[in-house]
A and B are shown apart, each in its own frame.
Chain A
Amino acid sequence: MPLGKPTVEHIKDLAQRYPSKQSAIIPALWAVQHEQGYVTKEAMAEIAEHLGLPASLIEATASFYSMFLTRPEGRHDVVICVNAPCMLRGADEMAAYLQRALGVRDGQTTPDDAITWHSTIECLGACGGAPMMQVDHHFEENLTEERIDSIIERLRQPAAAAHPPAAVAAAPAKRKPATKRARSEN
C-alpha cells in the first residue's frame, strides 16, 4: 500500500530538517507507523526512495528498535512492565490477571481485534506508580484487578478513546498516539 501524500510530504520535509538526511530515518518510520499502523518492507523501500538512501539502510535501522511493528496488531496497545521495580510491587500477578482477563497470551491480539497486549521488561519509567501498564502510550499506574477490568472494558468499546479525557488535554490534539489500526481498516 503506497504511503499517503501527507506522510510523503512529511518525510521530504524531515530530510531537510536535519544536517544529515539519514537522521530522518527514525522520524520517517514513525510517520509511516502512524499512518499505516505498522511498517512493511514496501513502506521502507518508499522511505528509502524519498530520502535518497538505500533500502537496506532503512531496514537495518528499523529492525534494531523494538517499537517499530512489522505486522498489524489490535486497535489498542497494552504493555505491562514486569521489570524488577514493578515486579517488587506485584507486576507479575497483574500480568497474569491481564492474561486471564483477555484470554490471549503475551504478544497476541484478542479475537475482536480490540487489544494486543504484551509484557515488557524494558523499564517504562513509572516505577513510582508500580504496578503499571501503558495503554496506547498513556500510563495507567497503581494497577489493581478492578482497574484492569475497567480499562479493558473501556478499550473493548467499538470507538473507544485511547485514554481517559483528562489525559487527552495534556497532549496536543493534532497528534494521536501511534496506535495500531485494526486489520479491517487496512
Chain B
Amino acid sequence: MPVKPILTRDFATEDLPQLKVYERTGGYDGFKKALEMQPDELVELVKKSGLRGRGGAGFPTGNKWSFLPKGVYPRYLVCNADESEPGCFKDRYLIEKSPHQVLEGILIASYAIGCNLAFIYIRGEYLPQHDALETAIAEARQAGYIGKNVLGKGYDIDIILHRGAGAYICGEETALLTSLEGYRGEPRLKPPFPAIKGLYGKPTVVNNVETVCNLPHIVLNGADWFGAIGTPTGKGTRVWCMSGHVNRPGNYELENGTPIRELIEEHGGGVWKNRKLKAFQPGGASMMVLLPEHLDVALDFDAIQKAGSLAGAGAMVVMDETTDVVKAAWRVVRFFARESCGKCTPCREGTNWLEKILKRIIDGHGRLITRMPPLPFSSPGYQFCTVEYLICAPSRAISSTTAACNWFSSRIGAVQPSR
C-alpha cells in the first residue's frame, strides 16, 4: 500500500502559510510535545528514527546532532535553504507551501541541541520565499513560539533570517557558514567539522530545509512509525523534484524505496511527446547519468549509489531520446566553471578546461582522447569541498558506461580503444 505523504500532507489546504491555518492541521503540536521532553531524549528519538539529511550527503541527522561537544556554549543551528543544485526546487516548494512547518522543525532541532539562536540561510534569488518566512517568523514570535521563555517552558530561542546574494557554493555547509560570517563564501578545511568548530568558531549544526520539516512528524508519531516507512537504510519519504522531458514535471513526495519507474512513468506522466527515455540523473545535474536499464532501481540513497550514481538532493532530470547529452553535460560544466569559488586549483582550472573540451566536441573539433585531462586530481581529498569531484561526473561517466562513451565518441569520430 502506498504510504501517504508526510511533509506535503496538508499542502492542498488553503492559506496554510498562515499560522492559524497551520495550527488547525496539527501545526506546532510537535514542538509543544518536544518541549515536554528532555533535549537528550529528542536526540535519541531522531537517531532511532533513522532520519538521514536531505541536503545531499544523506548523513544521519541524530548522529550529526550528537557530535556537538558537551558543555560548549553557545551553539548554533543553521537551516540550509541555499538550494541551488541544478534540477532542485523542493526547498522552495516546502517553504512556499508551509513556512511554519520549516520553522517548527528548526525550533525542535534547536531545542534538541541546546541552541538559543538559530539561522536560516536562504539564497538571494528566493525573495518571495524569504518574505514568506519573514512573515511566518513574525507570526510565530507574536504567538510565543519564538522569543524568551517559549510557551512558559523556560526555553529561549531566536531565529535570524539571512539572505544570500547569489553564489552556488554557499549551499556547501562550510562555505555557507563562512558566508554567514560576512566573508566571501569559500569552503573551509574539514576537520574540524562544523559540529566542533562552526559558525563563529562555535559548535554548529547545519540541517537542510527538508530534513527539519520531517522533525515535527517524527516527534508527534514516534521513531517506530517513521522507521516503518521506507527502506532499512533510507527511512521516510523524499520530495523528488522532477524536471526535463516528462509530461508532468514538479515535486512529488514518495516513500523511499519506490522504483524510479513509478516516479517517472506514473507521477511524471512518462517521457513527453511519446518519445523514449535516453537517460536520467537521479540527484541533480551534477550527478552521474543512469540509463533506461536502471528504471527499476529504488529511490533510495544506497540503491542509487549501487547503480553508479548518487541520490544527492533528490532532483530527477529526465532526458528523452533526442537529447544531445554532450550539450547538456557542457551546460552543466559551464555552470560549474562560472560558479567555482576559485579557492582550489583543480576546480578553478579543471572546470575551465573541461568546459573548453566539451565545447570543442560540440563544435565538431573534438580530438581523439581516451581520458578527460582533469581526471587525475578529480578524486575526493584534493579540494576543500566535494563540488569539483561532482563536476567531473561527465568525465567519469565516459569511463564507466559504454552508452555514455558512445554519446561522446560518436561526436568525435572513431575512437581509439583505451589500453
Q: Which residues of A lie under 8 Å from residue B134 when comparing CB positions?
A: 172, 175
Answer whether residue A4 sits at the interface, using C-beta atoms and an 8 A cutoff: no
B132 near A66 (CB under 8 angstroms)? no
Known contacts A23-B182, A60-B184, A172-B131, A84 near B125 by CB under 8 Å? no
User: Could you mark each residue 241-265 of chain B with 1 if its beta carbon is under 8 Å from any beta carbon of chain A, else 0?
Assistant: 1111100011100000000000000
Can you pick out 21 interface pairs between chain A and chain B where the beta carbons lie within 8 Å of each other? A19-B117, A23-B180, A25-B182, A30-B165, A60-B183, A61-B183, A64-B341, A85-B285, A85-B315, A88-B245, A88-B328, A125-B88, A125-B92, A127-B241, A127-B243, A127-B315, A128-B89, A128-B249, A137-B127, A137-B128, A175-B131
Residues of chain A in range 154-186 having any CB-CB distance to chain B below 8 Å? 167, 170-172, 175, 177-178
Please report whether the interface of chain B is mostly helix, strand, loop or mixed according to DSSP.
mixed
A18 to B245, CA, bound (A): 45
Interface size class of A (residues with CB under 8 A): 35 or more
Q: Which residues of A lie under 8 Å from residue B166 when comparing CB positions?
A: 65-68, 122
A88 near B317 (CB under 8 angstroms)? yes
B285 near A84 (CB under 8 angstroms)? yes
Q: Which residues of B lie under 8 Å from residue A177 when comparing CB positions?
A: 127
Contact of B338 among A68, A87, A122, A134 (CB under 8 A): A122
In angstroms, how far is the closest chain A Cβ from the Cβ of B33?
Answer: 30
Answer whether residue A138 sits at the interface, using C-beta atoms and an 8 A cutoff: yes
A122 near B162 (CB under 8 angstroms)? no
Closest to A23 in B: B182
Answer whether residue A43 sits at the interface, using C-beta atoms and an 8 A cutoff: no
In angstroms, how far is the closest chain A Cβ from the Cβ of B88?
Answer: 7
A129 near B249 (CB under 8 angstroms)? yes
In angstroms, how far is the closest chain B Cβ from the Cβ of A59?
Answer: 11
Count the B residues whose beta carbon is within 8 Å of the partner chain — how many? Answer: 60
Q: Which residues of B lie under 8 Å from residue A130 when comparing CB positions?
A: 243, 249
B243 near A23 (CB under 8 angstroms)? no
A22 near B89 (CB under 8 angstroms)? no
Q: Which residues of B lie under 8 Å from residue A104 when comparing CB positions?
A: none
Contact of A125 among B126, B131, B135 (CB under 8 A): B126
Q: Residues of B with Cβ closer than 8 Å to A?
A: 74, 83-89, 91-92, 117, 123-128, 131-132, 134-135, 160, 162-168, 179-185, 200, 241-245, 249-251, 285, 315, 317-319, 323, 327-328, 331-332, 334-335, 338-339, 341
Contact of A170 among B87, B128, B200 (CB under 8 A): B128
Answer whether residue A26 sits at the interface, using C-beta atoms and an 8 A cutoff: yes
A87 to B87, CA, bound (A): 11
Q: Which residues of A lie under 8 Å from residue B185 when comparing CB positions?
A: 64-65
A29 to B83, CA, bound (A): 21
Q: Which of A29, A30, A125 has the most C-beta atoms of chain B within 10 angstroms of its own C-beta?
A: A125
Known contacts A26-B163, A30-B163, A122-B166, A61 near B184 by CB under 8 Å? yes
User: Could you mark each residue 13-37 of chain A with 1 if its beta carbon is under 8 Å from any beta carbon of chain B, else 0?
Assistant: 0000111101111110110000000
A23 to B85, CA, bound (A): 25
Answer whether residue A126 sits at the interface, using C-beta atoms and an 8 A cutoff: yes
Known contacts A26-B163, A66-B167, A178-B127, A85 near B180 by CB under 8 Å? no
Contact of A65 among B131, B167, B251, B335 (CB under 8 A): B167
Answer whether residue A110 sits at the interface, using C-beta atoms and an 8 A cutoff: no
In angstroms, how far is the closest chain A Cβ from the Cβ of B183?
Answer: 6
User: Could you mark each residue 58-90 of chain A with 1 if its beta carbon is under 8 Å from any beta carbon of chain B, else 0?
Assistant: 001101111110000000000000111101110
A84 to B339, CA, bound (A): 15
B183 near A87 (CB under 8 angstroms)? no
Answer whether residue A121 sits at the interface, using C-beta atoms and an 8 A cutoff: yes
A171 near B131 (CB under 8 angstroms)? yes
B331 near A87 (CB under 8 angstroms)? yes
A85 near B125 (CB under 8 angstroms)? no
Q: Which residues of B lie under 8 Å from residue A138 when comparing CB positions?
A: 128
Q: Which residues of B lie under 8 Å from residue A143 when comparing CB positions?
A: none
Given contact pairs A22-B181, A30-B163, A170-B132, a sample of 17 additional A-B residue pairs in the complex whose CB atoms are under 8 Å apart: A27-B162, A57-B182, A64-B167, A65-B167, A66-B165, A84-B335, A89-B245, A121-B331, A122-B168, A122-B339, A124-B125, A125-B89, A127-B88, A127-B249, A129-B249, A134-B125, A171-B127
Closest to A171 in B: B131
Q: Which residues of B lie under 8 Å from residue A96 when comparing CB positions?
A: none
Answer whether residue A3 sits at the interface, using C-beta atoms and an 8 A cutoff: no
In angstroms, how far is the closest chain B Cβ from the Cβ of A154?
Answer: 18
In angstroms, how far is the closest chain A Cβ from the Cβ of B218?
Answer: 26
A25 to B132, CA, bound (A): 23
